[in-house]
Structure 1
Amino acid sequence: MCLSAPVSFTAAAVLVPAGAFAIWRTWRDDRRFVGIAALPMLLGFQQFAEGMIWIAGAHNDVASTAVFSLYYMFFAWIGWPVWIPISVYFTEPPRRHAPYLIFAVLGGMLGSVQFLPYLTHQGWLKVTLLEHAIRYSDVELLDDIISRPMTYLLYVFILLAPLLLASDRRLKIFGGLVGLVLAITVGFFQWAYISVFCFGGAVASAYLLWALRRAASPAPQPC
């Protein structure tokens, strides 16, 4: 949803209330899915931040651009790798909890190593406004240890594995959609991969909202 500020704000205006409704619905009907239901709303908050980046960048407001870029990247590096496995954790029976806690810890560790240096090293996160996308260029601590593609591969694994291993079929499908979005993004939009990914993320969120509309129905049996 990085095409422009209006598109980002429109996405936020749709996703935030839709996600809030999904949270209310799942809280009423099946509280195990509240964390999952919050994903569209959180994505909406992230898209609002990107809309503000568009505006601040267009006005050469360096300070505001930096603040909203950090807000955006917090979701990208720490929010999603921790929130997703924790959310799936609550949908699973106790005997299956341990792997999701491990994924959440790994996500927090990877995200912290990637994100926290932005707070202490000026210039490590650079934002460039392109014609229909925002490019986030950064320096990453892990570059001295493993290649950047391997870092991203680990990141994607932490994001997708909890969803694909979930007992609930709807979460498996959602994970598959997110994986497809990532594959398309990497294949065609590598120069703005994090930003463009949010467009497909919104599409996947639409499926998630649709799938959770019947949250009160009995949970699917484990596959």
Structure 2
Amino acid sequence: MSSVLIPAGVWCIQKAWKGDRHYLPLATFPLAFGLQQGIEGLVWVGLGTDNPALVSRAAIGFAFFSHGFWLCWIPLMASQLEKRPQMRRLWQGMAWVGALYGTYLLVPLWFHPDWLTLSIRQQTLDYALKTLIDHPLLGYWGRVLYIATILTPLLLTRNSVVSGMGWLVLGTLLATSRFFEQGFISVWCFFAAIASSYVVYQFLQGAATLRPSSRFRPS
């Protein structure tokens, strides 16, 4: 999958750069998902070759995307394509919230790499991340915040390309919750990576073509 998504993502970025640059954050989706899936592939390589160091580094690399990058990047992307000033400010605020939450989740891994553990369940990788405050209630609201930060900007941004991607990601969430209770993060990210091909399709249809109506200035 990485061998397809990475070059497709590079092409999307080039198209957005030459066209409507407000689409640049969205254009990175296939590339970022391709890199993320490639890194998870290294986790499998490390497991298959009994290389704990590779497994640890690759797992942390995967977590950088799953528990940090997307939490900030998705609302930031929405703020660039949102024409309603109030909603734009909301997405900008959510980007900061996502960045702070991602920092809370990931920074401890620099000091305690063993806080991220994984196991193979239902032939998928199940990531378990220990947090600074380990409490069931905080864990529940953390999951709510995670899903809301990912889905809300995708579904509510007034842009047909983004909302279309949002419905696909929501569908992958529901399917993953129904059939893959174990290994949720890994499987959801895998399906979301497939869904990112929708961005490539929309760019092929001219989504990032610069039009007079797209000349707005995000605040």
TM-score for both structures, normalised by structure 2: 0.89
1:205 aligns with 2:202: no
- Partner residue in 2 for 1:18: 8
Report the residue type matching 2:134 in the other structure: D
- Partner residue in 2 for 1:196: 187
TM-score for both structures, normalised by structure 1: 0.87
Q: Please give the root-mean-square deviation of Cα atoms over the aligned residues, in Å.
A: 1.9
Q: How far apart are 1:207 and its partner, in Å?
A: 1.2
| 1:95-141, Cα deviation, whole Å (9 max, x unpaired) | 24311111101101111111222222242111224563111122123
Match among 128, 134, 141 for residue 119 of structure 2: 128
After TM superposition, list the pairs within 5 Å mapping 1:74-85 onto structure 2: 74-85=64-75
Match among 14, 38, 42 for residue 28 of structure 2: 38
Instruction: Go from structure 1 to structure 2 and tell me whether the alpha carbon gap of 1:142 and 1:160 turns closer, same or farther (over 3 Å shift).
Output: farther
Aligned residues: 210
Instruction: Go from structure 1 to structure 2 and tell me whether the alpha carbon gap of 1:187 and 1:143 turns closer, same or farther (over 3 Å shift).
Output: farther
- Partner residue in 2 for 1:159: 150
Maintained 8 Å contact 1:57/1:129? no
Report the residue type matching 2:18 in the other structure: R
- Secondary structure at the counterpart of residue 115 of structure 1: helix
1:53 aligns with 2:43: yes
1-structure distance, mates of 2:175, 2:133: 25
Structure 1: state its 5+ residue gaps: 1-10
Report the residue type matching 2:170 in the other structure: G
2-structure distance, mates of 1:27, 1:103: 25
- Secondary structure at the counterpart of residue 81 of structure 2: coil
Stretch moving more, 160-169 or 138-147: 138-147
Structure 2: state its 5+ residue gaps: 215-219
Maintained 8 Å contact 2:122/2:182? no
Maintained 8 Å contact 1:88/1:163? yes
After TM superposition, list the pairs within 5 Å mapping 1:173-188 onto structure 2: 173-188=164-179
Instruction: Go from structure 1 to structure 2 and tell me whether the alpha carbon gap of 1:122 and 1:209 turns closer, same or farther (over 3 Å shift).
Output: closer
- Partner residue in 1 for 2:77: 87
1-structure distance, mates of 2:165, 2:120: 30
1-structure distance, mates of 2:58, 2:140: 26
Q: Percent identity?
A: 28
Q: How far apart are 1:145 and its partner, in Å?
A: 6.8
2-structure distance, mates of 1:179, 1:133: 20
- Secondary structure at the counterpart of residue 98 of structure 2: helix
